[in-house]
Chain A
Amino acid sequence: MTFEPGTRVRTRVQNPYGHTRLPGYVAGRSGEVVAAQGVFGLPDVAVFGGDQVETVYTVRFAACDLWGDDAEPNATVCADLWATYLEVE
């Protein structure tokens, strides 16, 4: 799966046994792909000795989409997320 910059995506909700680099506070959230960062091994698989390389994307989230009414105004958070963590919204 590839995602062009500007694509609206939603992060998956997951709680895997082992390891992940999808922070809990952005799981299940809606954001916008900003850029591709390159191709890197997926840590969720690497932790078990596997090798699954994927594109990592920078995804920008509006603070209100992460924190609701408690968000500060005019703030965003960018996180670098492996393609496995994302689906087109």
Chain B
Amino acid sequence: MSDEHGGPSPQAIRTSRLEAALVTRGLVETNKLDAIVDEHVSARNPDAGARVVARAWTDEAFRRRLLDDADTALQELGLGWAFNFQSTRRFQVIENTATTHNVIVCTLCSCYPTALLGPPPGWYKSDSYRARVVLEPRAVLGEFGLQLDPDIEVRVWDSTAETRYMVMPLRPSGTEDFDLDQLAALISRDALVGVAQAREPEGAAG
């Protein structure tokens, strides 16, 4: 739970005091705790998710496998560890198309594809995002700077059970000659959540 009014949340204060008490009593060591946090949170970032999408953009057979069975497809990329992480039980990648735009949320708490994207941003965990994106997704996306045509269906995925979702954004035009690294650089965390599109390449017309 994040605090939307600035300053540490009651949960953060409680966690901090609990950690201090455990360290004082010699029950945990700060450096070991830091190593665990680093392994599970700090070492993970959206690069993994961006690489998965870049691969799918350039490899049609992989794209189909990824959409059909992400758990198996991700193991091909050496990302099998994703499934032993936290409470994640299953992954599903959902594809934006010319007629459908997808966006993810967890209205019950803050479930998120952390293994592929790193820890969720504060706004993803906020009461405001969780309550509003299911009620008025176009308005929320507009506040992120994403305006969608009225004929595009907005599909909100509420992660209420054991599946964790990640969005595959549309590949920008003008990237036909790009290699995997160049493509991955266009794919932000926000695009993988569905509150943004992939970036247009620099110098692209329009």
Contacts and interface: CB of A to CB of B under 8 A. Distances in A.
Contact of A72 (B90, B92, B154): B154
A21 to B, nearest CB: 5
Which of B136, B139, B156, B158 is the most central at the interface, judged by chain A CB atoms within 10 Å of its CB? B158
B156 A74 contact: no
B155 interface: yes
Nearest to B135: A67
A23 interface: yes
B162 interface: yes
Contacts of B156: 75-78
B153 A21 contact: no
Given A23-B107, A25-B134, A76 B159 contact: no
Chain B contact residues: over half helix, strand or loop, or mixed?
mixed
For this complex, into which size category does the number of interface residues on chain B fall?
20 to 34
B162 A40 contact: yes
A23 B158 contact: yes
Contacts of A74: 150-154
A75 B108 CA distance: 20
Interface string B133-172: 0111111000000000011111111111111000000000
27 contacts: A21-B161, A25-B134, A37-B162, A37-B163, A38-B162, A40-B161, A58-B163, A72-B136, A72-B138, A72-B139, A73-B150, A74-B150, A75-B138, A75-B155, A77-B155, A77-B156, A77-B157, A78-B155, A78-B156, A78-B157, A78-B158, A79-B158, A79-B160, A80-B159, A80-B161, A80-B163, A81-B161
Interface of B: 89-90, 92, 107-108, 134-139, 150-163
